[in-house]
Structure 1
């Protein structure tokens, strides 16, 4: 396999064309084997392909290592649906002609994984997916099929005066499993937290917790549920032997009020659901906004292409709780209707437009795996204090452009084309 294909568009050409800095995006695909390096120009609002990097399987979820000032090489780590199951590492290097990505190595793992993270102190990487956190490990399905009912993520909290804690949501069990990180980096199970019982809603065993995130203060955990389409908030208490680690606090629906009807938006119907809660991400901390003011959450449309996915933005207070009752105050929530269902995608990544912006304005990556034009979309978020007209969250550019998919496969000798984006991250 040729791991050094030619550039699609020389980065210097992109820089010259825009006459302004660009921000790079590394993207994976559910139906392509390659990774894709893109360049986004904030001045021109364009998104261009820079490099196609042959990889080892579809569904590349990307975890980034730390960015060190003055160091020209950063590392990324990816999962895939390929067999046998593996994790791969990649070097992101600043070359004379621009940023390049090259394969470094891989490691075999025991089950197909769907998520990867690199928490401080950056000595280990952690990956979860499928049968992760399940008690019947030996008999569990370890292929990608297990992702339908298994684990989809692992996140860490660093409570004051306590060992680091890891949280793994188990979709089929409607449970969040809690682990303590030992000195050698291994995880020790300490608690199990069931999904909250919904008042007048679905039973907790049908909730389907899919992804979690932890507030920088280490005291608040957020969980998005796939089946019931909620964003749940919990407080974190270090393990004591008697009190639960997670205590449920509040929920907000991922579905706009005008689409909520009993038995549709927040209920289950076997494998056919109108919406499927997906992923979530806190706004990045900046000098102007050290505590995140916003949390972004996505849901995908269900079967077919007639139901569009949504991005919801909820405002947070200084402690990481919901800032108020969104049903009574629309200025505490923003909704964006996607152009498609999102397919299997609708992953997010966020980048501050300016480190000094008091409004918390962001560039947002939203991945799309749904026809007719799947790929990577860039949205612009103006922040809560923005006083202009129209929506605060909107799409400004996307790649590939219309017409790219006229041929499903690349011509002989050409690099592979993307066939629907799975996950993408900002590199700078």
Structure 2
């Protein structure tokens, strides 16, 4: 299929001769066949469309490749709802006036994928979704596209594979992500949450980049809480120290914290430590006694650790989201929890303003509420950030930029608030086709 040349849109303010520097954002959409390149101006608090990039299908998740020193091009890899199932790659090119994005290639896979990542040492591309996960080789530095297919991992028995659902519907109960840990004295470990099984599958990464299954971790047993099989682990992240794993549960709406134990043949790799609610406790209390329960009112979504900076090498915060439930009449939430130097939750006092911050979104979030974080300054001791929050829900779906002031902010008011959004109105999109953002990433 030949693609039309990307449609170019002039920046309204961000790229004129007197404008301050901008930060670029690449976003996909659940309801559009295009990717969108945006520019955020911190000084003017504006978010503008730079480029619409025609593609093959709605794009669910974006993974960025490594930055090559001296190169003006970086590569991105995306999952897609296109049929037949495939993954796609893109070049992000620095040009004199702005960044530009162009399509590189695609590879066919057996089941629609949900998540894609390129972890150190940047030799392979890993994706997961529904009944399977895929491993592709990464071409040599500076070479575009996908390398050879290296491995397929199946989460259903071989006898059931042919009949297994391989469409995007399987993402509701199959695998939903893959993340890596690099414990001292151990081979790299990979963690794949399987939403429908309430399991986190654990793998060791071999020297050739392939994954070898070594353990299965069941959802934690919570006294007086949701039963194990209803937990629904959706996404995981790993602390830079390689010793702590965090998991968001879609059905029970918790942030779970585990310690990572290097495999020794006896000790489980994951040991459950603690949980925090993705929604304010009073709302959990209000819904817990309802007939359908809080798991139908909210849907736990995603999580992200604050980026490391010279001023804050260890993340001080972890951001988590949940979406409103069916009917989109309930607003979603963003919660920020403070972490100690070892990556553990800094305390359990919900009302302590220095341990938790809550932000109620303007809509339910729909299928989105993905996050990406960017430090406002490498030298800021408070850990202030710019936060991307994607929204797929009417009446104003799209990309939002929030500002996080850090834990020591004493300026009054909320420390987390919206400062910009795109689109502001339908006429600013490509013929109104950007009806909701899926996942977005900071590019610079």
Range of TM-score over shorter length = over 0.9
After the TM superposition, which residues 93-172 of structure 1 pair with which residues of structure 2 at under 5 Å, given as runs? 93-132=93-132, 134-137=155-158, 138=161, 139-172=163-196
Other-structure match for 1:311: 334
**What is the alpha-carbon distance in structure 2 between the residues aligned to residue 307 and residue 184 of structure 1?**
47
After superposition, the C-alpha distances for 1:366-392 in whole angstroms (9 at most, x for unaligned) are 000000110000000000011111000
Other-structure match for 1:420: 436
After superposition, the C-alpha distances for 1:209-265 in whole angstroms (9 at most, x for unaligned) are 000000000000000000000000000011111110000000000111221226x25
Structure 1 contact 228–267 (Cα < 8 Å) conserved = no
Other-structure match for 1:249: 273
Q: 1:252 to 1:18 in 2, by over 3 A?
A: farther
Cα deviation for residue 289 of structure 1 reads 0.3
**What is the alpha-carbon distance in structure 2 between the residues aligned to residue 82 and residue 293 of structure 1?**
38
Q: For 1:351, which of 374, 378, 383 is the aligned residue?
A: 374
- 3-state DSSP class of the match of 1:384? coil
1:239 aligns with 2:263: yes
Cα deviation for residue 325 of structure 1 reads 1.2
Q: For 2:200, which of 159, 163, 176 is the aligned residue?
A: 176
Q: 1:401 to 1:134 in 2, by over 3 A?
A: same
Other-structure match for 2:10: 9
**What is the alpha-carbon distance in structure 1 between the residues aligned to residue 100 and residue 375 of structure 2?**
23
Structure 2 contact 288–294 (Cα < 8 Å) conserved = no
Cα deviation for residue 80 of structure 1 reads 0.5
Q: 1:323 to 1:237 in 2, by over 3 A?
A: same
Other-structure match for 1:198: 222
**What is the alpha-carbon distance in structure 1 between the residues aligned to residue 368 and residue 327 of structure 2?**
14
- 3-state DSSP class of the match of 2:80? coil
After superposition, the C-alpha distances for 1:142-191 in whole angstroms (9 at most, x for unaligned) are 11111111111000001111111000001110000000111111111000
Cα deviation for residue 401 of structure 1 reads 0.4
- 3-state DSSP class of the match of 2:299? strand
After superposition, the C-alpha distances for 1:105-153 in whole angstroms (9 at most, x for unaligned) are 1111111001000100111110011113513251421111111111110
After the TM superposition, which residues 180-329 of structure 1 pair with which residues of structure 2 at under 5 Å, given as runs? 180-261=204-285, 264=287, 269=292, 273-327=296-350, 329=352
Structure 1 contact 281–296 (Cα < 8 Å) conserved = yes
Cα deviation for residue 417 of structure 1 reads 2.9
**What is the alpha-carbon distance in structure 2 between the residues aligned to residue 186 and residue 268 of structure 1?**
45
Other-structure match for 2:38: 38
- 3-state DSSP class of the match of 2:354? helix
Cα deviation for residue 199 of structure 1 reads 0.7
Structure 1 contact 278–297 (Cα < 8 Å) conserved = yes
**What is the alpha-carbon distance in structure 2 between the residues aligned to residue 381 and residue 265 of structure 1?**
30
Q: 1:194 to 1:184 in 2, by over 3 A?
A: same
- 3-state DSSP class of the match of 2:60? coil
* RMSD (Å), alpha carbons: 1.9
After superposition, the C-alpha distances for 1:59-114 in whole angstroms (9 at most, x for unaligned) are 33100011234321100000001111111110000123321000111111111001
Say how many residue pairs are matched.
Answer: 419
List runs of 5+ in structure 1 lacking aligned partners: 411-415
Other-structure match for 1:361: 384
- 3-state DSSP class of the match of 2:296? coil
**What is the alpha-carbon distance in structure 2 between the residues aligned to residue 71 and residue 268 of structure 1?**
57
Q: Which deviates the most, 140-149 or 221-230?
A: 140-149
List runs of 5+ in structure 2 lacking aligned partners: 133-153
Q: 1:191 to 1:269 in 2, by over 3 A?
A: farther
Structure 1 contact 228–265 (Cα < 8 Å) conserved = no
**What is the alpha-carbon distance in structure 2 between the residues aligned to residue 256 and residue 10 of structure 1?**
39
- 3-state DSSP class of the match of 1:261? helix
Other-structure match for 1:342: 365
After the TM superposition, which residues 377-416 of structure 1 pair with which residues of structure 2 at under 5 Å, given as runs? 377-404=400-427, 410=431
**What is the alpha-carbon distance in structure 2 between the residues aligned to residue 69 and residue 244 of structure 1?**
39
- 3-state DSSP class of the match of 1:79? strand
Q: 1:266 to 1:365 in 2, by over 3 A?
A: farther
Q: 1:338 to 1:294 in 2, by over 3 A?
A: same
TM-score, normalised to structure 2's length?
0.91
Q: 1:265 to 1:16 in 2, by over 3 A?
A: farther
Q: 1:266 to 1:289 in 2, by over 3 A?
A: farther
**What is the alpha-carbon distance in structure 2 between the residues aligned to residue 159 and residue 289 of structure 1?**
21
Structure 1 contact 255–265 (Cα < 8 Å) conserved = no
